[in-house]
Structure 1
Amino acid sequence: MPDKHQTAAFLLQQKLLPLFYQDSVEISGRILKALYAGGLRAVEYTNRGEHARRNFSGLRKLVDAELPGMLLGIGTIKSASDAHQFIGEGADFIVCPTIDSSVAETVADAKLLWVPGTMTPTEISMAETHGATLVKVFPGNVLTPAFISSVKELFPGLSFLVTGGVEPEEKNLTAWFGSGVAAVGMGSMLIKKSYIENNDYDGLSVAAGNALRLVQSIVPPGR
């Protein structure tokens, strides 16, 4: 398992973090395989349903058996107990919608990457105080790229990951990366319901690959 510094470096190199939840562990596995086939090697599974822990356990086994090099993180972690449980299930990194000191401590004790969610300069400062180096800014569609441009210089030691309303389109991505974000997260804008409903995992794989190439054409890896 990579340490938090290696994980952060990898996420910042990939620059695109897909995130999703699906009630079915089988469908979750198909989605993960499609993203992997599209070239993605880091994915956030979200803790947004009653089967999240069961499904994550299944995905962890799938990654270990069939998807070498894949980093599998867990998102929507709001308590230390949840963090502890998913760390026990083999999470490679932890993403949160908010800042919770007990979660920060739990993740730090496990020597994993903690990515807290923020929406204001005060919250960004709190995240930095609690040891974050990569901070999620959410919801992007409310805050807009202008927010990042305005606050980024206040926090030179932090990298920003924006989620919420990020689109796999050149104009949208250029605006976000131009504002100074280091990476973007995409959920339903990338992993569309139509792919799942039509059993079109090849289509999802193509879309994932196209999105990854688009992101890395706007900001090449290493920048």
Structure 2
Amino acid sequence: MDKNKLIRKTITEQGLIPLYFHPDPDTCIGVMKALYAGGVRVVEFTNRGAAAQDNFEAMLKVRDKECKDLLLGIGTIKTKKDAKAFIRSGADFIIAPGMIEEVAETVHKEEMLWIPGCMTTTEIIKAEQAGASLIKLFPGNLLGPGFMSAIRELFPDLLFMPTGGVEAEKENLFAWFRSGVSAVGMGSKLITKTVLEEKKYDELTAAASAALQLIKEVR
């Protein structure tokens, strides 16, 4: 199985991509290890601060020693320059907040998985034509499961993952998976401000494990 197929399979089986950023490298590593301990095997770190690349590289070093089967991708990639930089760093996959052609071209040249953010059917069609196989529905809280249900039959060959406002709560997850998504992205609803500020990693491990179990139940 090639790497991109493995990543898509892992995302689909896990049903969840946790995502976060923090300026402190030790906190970034602590969160990653806590998620891993909770059963998470694919994570998105977001490129949202000056320290993002250094912290990402520090995370990769720990991943390679302690969490070898963890797939670590980078999100919020908006430019060709950033895509190239994080590909050099060793990202397993690239997530963009929108349908950005120069990012798609850069990632595909490296034969890597590119996951673009889309909000309309036009954007989804453009992303599909540009080679996307997995679409990030963003922002998920504005689109809602009803949007996914309405477009599902238009795109039988694509996988979908809403991100933004997805709750680690049974009713919300059931609505999303019933609508046809393959996974959900979850940021602050899972990796809370309290966890980050107070380094409550045991709580995060428990929350991640509970979220994965809940997804199994609602499918």
- TM above 0.5, yes or no, is yes
- Structure 2: gaps of 5 or more residues: none
Q: Counterpart of 1:193?
A: 193
- Structure 1: gaps of 5 or more residues: none
Assess if the C-alpha contact under 8 Å between 1:35 and 1:205 holds in 2.
yes
1:100 CA drift (Å): 1.5
Q: Deviations over 1:74-123 (max 9, x none)?
A: 00000111111000000000000011122111111111110000000000
1:152 CA drift (Å): 1.0
Q: State how 1:155-174 maps to structure 2 within 5 Å.
A: 155-174=155-174
2 CA distance for matches of 1:195 and 1:52? Answer: 19
Secondary structure of the residue that 1:173 maps to in structure 2?
Answer: helix
Q: Residue 16 in 1 paired to residue 40 in 2?
A: no
Q: Counterpart of 2:72?
A: 72
Assess if the C-alpha contact under 8 Å between 1:3 and 1:111 holds in 2.
no
1:196 CA drift (Å): 2.3
Q: Deviations over 1:110-155 (max 9, x none)?
A: 1111000000000000000000010000111101110000011111
Q: Counterpart of 2:54?
A: 54
Q: State how 1:66-105 maps to structure 2 within 5 Å.
A: 66-105=66-105
What count of residue pairs does the alignment treat as equivalent?
A: 219
Give the aligned CA root-mean-square deviation in angstroms: 1.1
Q: Residue 184 in 1 paired to residue 184 in 2?
A: yes
* AA at the equivalent of 2:112: L
Secondary structure of the residue that 1:191 maps to in structure 2?
Answer: coil
1 CA distance for matches of 2:102 and 2:197? Answer: 39
Q: How does the TM-score come out when normalised to structure 1?
A: 0.96
Percent of matched pairs sharing the same residue? 50
* AA at the equivalent of 2:70: M
1:65 CA drift (Å): 1.0
1:197 CA drift (Å): 2.4
List structure 1 runs of 4+ shifted beyond 6 angstroms.
none
Q: Residue 106 in 1 paired to residue 106 in 2?
A: yes
Q: Counterpart of 1:33?
A: 33
2 CA distance for matches of 1:145 and 1:159? Answer: 14
Secondary structure of the residue that 1:132 maps to in structure 2?
Answer: coil
